[in-house]
Every structure is written in C-alpha cells, then in structure tokens.
Amino acid sequence: MMSGEVFQTGTQKRKTIEILAPAGSREQLVAAVRSGADAVYLGAGGLNARRGAENFGSPDSLREAVAYCHASGVDVHLTANILVRDDEWSAAEELIAQACALGIDAVIVQDIGLARYIRAVAPDLVLHASTQMSLHTPGGAQAAAEMGFRRAVLARELSGKEIREIVSASPIETEVFIHGALCMCVSGQCLFSAVLGGRSGNRGLCAQPCRLPFRVTGDRSGFDGCMSLKDMSHIQHIPALIEMGVASVKIEGRMKRPEYVAAAVTACRLMRDEGEVPPDLAEKLSAVFSRSGFTDGYFTAKRGRGMFGKRTKEDVVSASPALLGSLHPLYKNEYRRVPLRMELTARNGQTPALLRVSDGEGHAAEVRGECPQSALKAPFDEAYGRKILGKTGGTPYYLDTLAAEVGEGLTLPSSALSGMKRDALDAIDAARRLPRAVSFGPSDATAEAVATRRTFGKDKPALRVVFHSAEQVPLRLAGVEMAYLPIETDAALLEYAVGVLRRRGAVPAVEVPRGLFGREADILRWAQAVKFIGVNDIMIHNVGLIPLLRDTGLRLHGGFGLNVFNSRSLDQSVGMGLTDNELSFELTLPQIAALGSCQPRGMTVRGRIPMMLTRNCPAALSLGGCPGHAKEGGVCGITDRTGRNLPVMCRMDCSEIFNPVMMSVVENVAGRTCDDLALDWVAFRFTDESAEECARLIDQYVSGDISREPGITSGLYFKGVF
C-alpha cells in the first residue's frame, strides 16, 4: 500500500528574467506563447503605437487572446502608448474599463495624462512606463515610480553600463529591448513622420521616412543610409542583464511574421535557460528578418558606422518559404509551462477514485472516477501514475508533483485514469480562462480638466525666446519676458549673457537638452552653478530631471519634449512640480485653444521644428567624426533625396535634426489675446540665426510690424496629425 506518497515528476528551470514578445495578430500571439514567451504585449483599437498592426480591436478577439494567454501561464501587457487627444477620452476610458474587466496584467502608457487618469479610476491596474516616455536616466525611473508606474521600459540607446546604473537605482522594475528594429530617433522624441506626412510616431502611425535615402551634406562617398540603423540584437547579453537585475527583455516586432517571433523568443529562452543559442537558430533568426545583419552598438557603447544598414534584396529573399517552414516546428505545439500538482485517492474498491488537480495559483479541480480494481498484474505505483497522468500533450500543463494514496493491491485502468485527468485539465483550463478582474471606478471627472480651465485674460501673450547659443543674445531685447540659454554654456560666457538679459529686462533662464544619457551629475552641477549666479528658471524636456532638480530651488518649466498633448497632461504636470508647459508641436491651434486645466502654458510660434533626437550623429558617419563646429554649437547637415539640407546640431553627445523649412505662425497669433489663444506665452526658438537676426525678429513681433517670411511652413498647427 502507498499512503500519501509524493512523486516529483518534472520541473522547469526557474525564470530569472521575463521574455516579453510582440503579438500584433492572432498568429503572432500563438507563435509567441507556443515558443515559450513569458508575456506578450498587444494592442486593441487605435490607442497603441502600432496602429498599422492587425491588433485585437474587437472585444471578443481581445477577450479570447487574454483567456488563451492566462490559461497558458502567459501575462498580457496592453499597449496604450500613444498621446491621447482630449476628444479621444471616451475611447480611452472604454479601453481601460475593458482592460480591468479582462484582468489585463499591465498597461503600457506614454501619456502622463492617461497615467494620471488610470491611477484615479483603476488604482490596482499595473502601469508600465512606455519607452515613448524617453526614460534613459536613474531620475527617469524615479519619476515613473512617483507617477504610479511599476515598471520603466528603458530607452533602446542605453549602454550596458548605463542600464546597470539605472537598474541599481530604480525603485521599480525595469525592462529593456533585446531584439528588433532600432529607430534612428530616441523614442518619444520624433516628429519626422508627423512633419513630413502627418503620420505621427507618437500616435502609432510612423511612416518610417528615415529609412529613405539620406546622405551627409558634403560627403562624396555615395553612402545614403545615414538615417537607417540595423536591427538590434542583444540576445547574447541576456546573462549580463539577468545579473544586473533587469526584470524583462522585450522583443520588438508587432508587424513582423509569426516565424520571426517564434525564432526570437526561442533564441532568448535558450540563452536565458541554457546560456547559448544554437548556431543554426541564430543563422535562421538573422535570415528571417534583418537589415544587413544586427548590431549591439548601443549596448557596447560602440556607436558609429557599423550600426547602420538597410533592408537589402538579399535580406528579403533570405526569408524563403523553406526557411519559414523550418521555423514552424518551434511553435507547432503548446509550450508546457504551467506546473500541476495531482493528488490521487483510491482507498478501496467500494469508493470512486478521486483526482484533485491544482496549479498553485488558486485554481483547482476535483474529478471522481471509477472504483479502483484489484490489480491482476502489478498494483498502482509511481511509474504507472506518472506514465498515465503525466501525458498532458496538447496543453500548456505538465505534471510537477504527484501525491498518491492507493489501497494495497489496487489499481485503476489506464482509460479510467486518463478520463479523470482529461476532465480535470478541462476544468483547470476553464478556471484559468476566467477573467481576473481589476476594480474600475468609472469617473464622472471625464471633463474635469476642461471644467477647471481658467480665464487667461485680454493681454497679449508674453514673449519668450530660446537661444541655441549665448552668442545669439542681442543687445536689443525689449519686450522679451524670459530668455533661455543652454545650461552647458561656458560659465564666463553664461554669466555675461545673463547680465545682458537682466539689463534688457528679460528674466534669464537655462534650458537642458532632451538627451541626458549619463549626464545627470553634470546637469545637477550646472544647475547649482546657475542658481549661484542668480538664475532661477530652468526648462526641462524629460521627466527624469524632476526628481534630480526639485531641491535646487529652481523653477521648473516643461519643454516640448515632455509631449504635453491634452488637458490631463497639463493637470499632471502641476502635481509633478512644473511651473508651466510648452505644448506639443503636434497640436493644432484649435486643439490648443480648447485645452482645459489651470496650468499655465505656451507654444513655439517660430523656429525650426526639431524633428529628431539621436544618439548617433549622422554627420560623423562620413566625415570621420562629428565636425568640431557642430560640437561647439554650430551646424552641419544631411541631405534628402530631393536635395534639401536638414540642419544637424549637437548638444551633450546627442544630435538634433531640424526641419529644413522654417516654421512660423507669428502672423496667426500676432495681435491676439491670451483668451483668444488660450495661451500665457509664445516662444521663438533660434537655431542658426545671428544675434542681429534674432534682434530683428524680436523687434518685429513686439512692434507688431510683421512681414511674412518667405519659404516658411506653419508646421502642424493647422493640419495636425493622424
């Protein structure tokens, strides 16, 4: 007789880091789950950053996707990672309500206003801060935590050393991209597609214009791929990321084939669990999709020409039907990742046998079967129980522990035992598929931000100016309320320029650039220095600077890089300690006029639109290194296929690429009141203008003697973005 005997029949390796896979379609979802992903991320409807993917737009398709994943032991992360317009709030509320009802495991969010809303109506819903928030410093992770996020998805451009520094300081989980496409621009800081075609990358419709031919201005080598990066692959660095304490590695590719997803997931899983990827699989992963191979240049801090590549004809034909067919076995069957405990009781021949199955997550099933029989040959033992009950093929379950109490000399026919097992697994599966709902409190504050809007007044909006260099500061500044200088300006030159501004009646201020990689100590030191000379105002473009600078005594002004796009984002910025905000370049003038919130705000009315922030200076590719004049605040450029020159300006080891056409809506705002525009101030952003040109433009605006500049654009202020 065996009484209460326990058999360990198999275990999976302990998960040390989550493998997060894309699921842009049902086919991708199945490939990700069956090849061994721990979690998937997917979109539903239009509020996600891959609106061109198939997604799971209907309630039924999303419900079934979540049920399938949860039954399979896979978490579901819902992407709501775009900027939300005020008129889209009912759709956002419906999506969050649906996420709560289905028990979505996490929602990925870019918009700080949407994050604020979710925290109010669904405080138990897990939020992940999207890479679109441009989180690339320890302060960024801290700011995300303060906003209620439980995970920060870090920027792709970070080195391994920088990732380690962020992870070690982060109060929340961190996630890093491990494989897939690299944007030329830091995520969340790109206006390239929006400006050129109205398809906003911040709204999930990037047209990838950077993949078109561009060459460095003046380069005669013929290289025209200076805006197209190879796909990244950091799979070989998974052991290092595990050691750092990274919680999750993410595969990009919601618009790629299911075979790609299966190959990438399998490679990541094998590297995590076995410490290596078989050469044959690595070769197939490269063949199924790449752009002239892969790069790990960001992770290794070896940025430069070797990171650039295009999708060639050879790359396309390498993904042959034969290759794709060879990858199908990777996701032919369900991946058995859910351990089960089975308890079998069969004490005598007069009582039906009882099989109890549980998954360790609160789901259990009990099934009664036949009465046990006297064994004609061998009585029930471990080998027999494992042989019958351990067959769970076609399901995501495996027998982990078997506890059996079977009367001496008794057994159960295999058909009876198999039937009990089948019924129990069906019941477990049904239970795991039920939604794990999260509480959702529908808010009657849907119009709260609009309702709290203040009166702006009948005065003309104040004028602010942003200089690219201190040398641009003119001696004529009458009518300027505030003027921003680069925070990294040489100390002596900065002090001189601050003196000029004060004597001309303008409040001196400094601006921190959008790219902060590894420079927090420098920025804090400079901030303390400018405070010492009497500067009290600072413009920031990244939420990571808020915890860094909050104790400096400086007034924090939010710049366009924060992507303030709706009324709730304005409200959120108040709680974050910002004095006012520069609004997104992607809003139209009517949308700006309709914004609610009491938070002061302004907009840039003249300047070159900063279309891209990149950590790979395109000019350095062909010119043997970044030109000295660009490092010093000067301008180089890249040329598109039509011959237009896009200025490139470098600051603090990052490069900004500007629209070749000057943007101006000065004529449209001149003479209008704060109430008319729903603005407190307007700004001129100067890039390559001389001091004399800056003075002339300021004088024209202040005097009202405005002449239309030739060859200008109104940007997106009238046409908006999709």
Spell out the residues 6+ positions from residue 311 whose beta carbon is closer than 8 angstroms to its own: 211, 291, 292
- Give the distance from CA 464 to its chain's centroid: 32
pLDDT of residue 628: 53
Any idea which of 3-17, 101-115, 193-207, 634-648 has the lowest mean pLDDT? 3-17
pLDDT of residue 667: 94
pLDDT of residue 57: 80
> Residue 671 — left, alpha, or beta (φ > 0 → left; ψ -120 to 50 → alpha)?
left
pLDDT of residue 709: 83
pTM of this structure: 0.94
Model confidence over 387-415: pLDDT tens digits? 999 999 899 999 999 999 999 999 999 99
pLDDT of residue 97: 95
Share of the chain above pLDDT 90, in %: 84
- Candidates 677, 549, 489; CA nearest to 601 is 677
Q: How far is CA 504 from CA 483, 554, 680, in A?
A: 11, 22, 21
Contact in structure between 464 and 484 (CB atoms under 8 Å): yes
Average pLDDT on 657-680 reads: 95
Average pLDDT on 447-473 reads: 85
pLDDT of 4 > 50? The answer is no
pLDDT of residue 5: 46
pLDDT of 53 > 90? The answer is no
Q: Categorize the per-residue pLDDT at 8 as very low, low, confident or very high, splitting at 50, 70 and 90.
A: very low
Q: Categorize the per-residue pLDDT at 443 as very low, low, confident or very high, splitting at 50, 70 and 90.
A: low
Q: How far apart are CA 78 and CA 297, in angstroms?
A: 30
Spell out the residues 6+ positions from residue 513 whose beta carbon is closer than 8 angstroms to its own: 486, 487, 488, 541, 651, 652, 654, 656
pLDDT of residue 46: 75
How does the average pLDDT of the chain come out, rounded?
92
- Candidates 568, 638, 603; CA nearest to 109 is 568
Average pLDDT on 215-225 reads: 87
The pairing of beta strand 555-558 with beta strand 537-540: parallel
Q: Categorize the per-residue pLDDT at 12 as very low, low, confident or very high, splitting at 50, 70 and 90.
A: very low
DSSP class of 488: T
Average pLDDT on 253-274 reads: 96
Contact in structure between 409 and 374 (CB atoms under 8 Å): yes
Contact in structure between 127 and 148 (CB atoms under 8 Å): yes
Model confidence over 68-90: pLDDT tens digits? 999 999 999 999 999 999 999 99
pLDDT of 445 > 80? The answer is no
pLDDT of residue 617: 87
Q: How far apart are CA 540 and CA 562, in angstroms?
A: 8
pLDDT of residue 612: 96
Q: How far apart are CA 320 and CA 139, in angstroms?
A: 46
Contact in structure between 106 and 151 (CB atoms under 8 Å): yes
pLDDT of residue 55: 79
Q: Categorize the per-residue pLDDT at 194 as very low, low, confident or very high, splitting at 50, 70 and 90.
A: very high
Which helix (H) or strand (E) segment holds residue 441: the answer is none
Residue 179 has a CB neighbour count (10 Å cut-off) of 23
pLDDT of 418 > 50? The answer is yes
Q: How far apart are CA 636 and CA 638, in angstroms?
A: 7
Q: Categorize the per-residue pLDDT at 626 as very low, low, confident or very high, splitting at 50, 70 and 90.
A: low
pLDDT of 475 > 60? The answer is yes
pLDDT of 469 > 90? The answer is yes
pLDDT of residue 289: 94
